[in-house]
Amino acid sequence: MPWSKSKLPPVAKNLTDKQKEIFVAVANSVLKDTGDEGQAIASGLAAAKKEKGMKKSFAESLGELIEKHFGGSEQEAEAVEQVTKSVNEEQRLALFIVLEPQDGGDTTTDLHGDTYTVEEVEKACHNFNQHCMKANLFHKVETEEAKIVESYVAPVDFVLDDKTIKKGTWLQSWYFPETEVGELLWKSVKDGTVNGVSIQGRATTENLDD
């Protein structure tokens, strides 16, 4: 769908008016070229947030390091939805919410405004654990510069950083080694530049409003 300032995905609704203009222009252009809504939203958000100086220096620095270490060429930090994370400074660990299920009247949505059942979240987690379990930098390159040390579905409700984590939520714990790229990623996790993870998945959707 083409977007407008009055018709935005949920993740873009808190942007400033200027940022919304940038988001709409960039997202619609990428959507027209690629037909990929996820890529369009991510590109629009990244461009919008650069308006107030966010992520630019990180994206450039990380791109240079990825090219140096992995031989990559087109490296850009993809914007992700803000999610709860808990950081263990001493162990260099960050715990991220990957997907939250919807239950009852709950309106938990992802970057695209979609919802997931408890069963689908569990299925996605188990599939990832069996067939992947590998860190990937912004959907560009698999890496050992960050390691997924735990990936699981919460068996019960619990509280993390004053946020209630629902039973059935998919969580991942990431470790960042003391390497050049690992240090940059770890610093960026701590200061909030990197604030979440993406499943990079494809799915068949169902419109529940009908």
**3-state SS record for the chain:** CCCECCECCHHHCCCCHHHHHHHHHHHHHHHHHHCCHHHHHHHHHHHHHHCCCCCHHHHHHHHHHHHHHHCCCCCCCCCCCCCCEEEECCCCEEEEEEECCCCCCCCCCCCCCCCCCHHHHHHHHHHHHHHCCCCEECCCEECCCCEEEEEEECCCCEEECCEEECCCCEEEEEECCCCHHHHHHHHHHHCCCCCCCCCCCCCCCCCCCC
The model's pTM is: 0.57
CA–CA separation, 191 vs 138, rounded Å?
18
Task: Of 102, 126, 105, 104, give the one whose Cα is nearest residue 116.
Answer: 102
Helices 17-34 and 37-50, axial angle in degrees (round to 10): 150
Q: Would you say residue 9 has pLDDT above 60?
A: yes
Query: 73: exposed, middle or buried (C-beta count within 10 Å: 0-12, 13-18, 19+)?
Result: exposed
List, for residues 174-209, the tens digit of each pLDDT value.
999 998 888 888 888 888 777 778 776 555 656 655
List, for residues 14-67, the tens digit of each pLDDT value.
788 888 888 888 888 888 888 888 778 888 887 787 765 444 445 556 656 555
Q: Would you say residue 72 has pLDDT above 50?
A: no
CA–CA separation, 210 vs 207, rounded Å?
6
Q: Would you say residue 162 has pLDDT above 60?
A: yes
List, for residues 110-132, the tens digit of each pLDDT value.
555 667 888 989 999 999 999 98
Alpha carbon 48 to chain centroid, angstroms: 16
Q: Would you say residue 78 has pLDDT above 50?
A: no
pLDDT band for position 83 (50/70/90)?
very low
The per-residue pLDDT for 5 is: 81
Dihedral angle computed from the Cα positions of residues 187, 150, 133 and 203, in that order, rounded to the nearest 10 degrees: -90
19-23, 82-86, 99-103 — which is least confidently predicted? Answer: 82-86
90 or 29, which is more confident: 29
CA–CA separation, 198 vs 152, rounded Å?
15
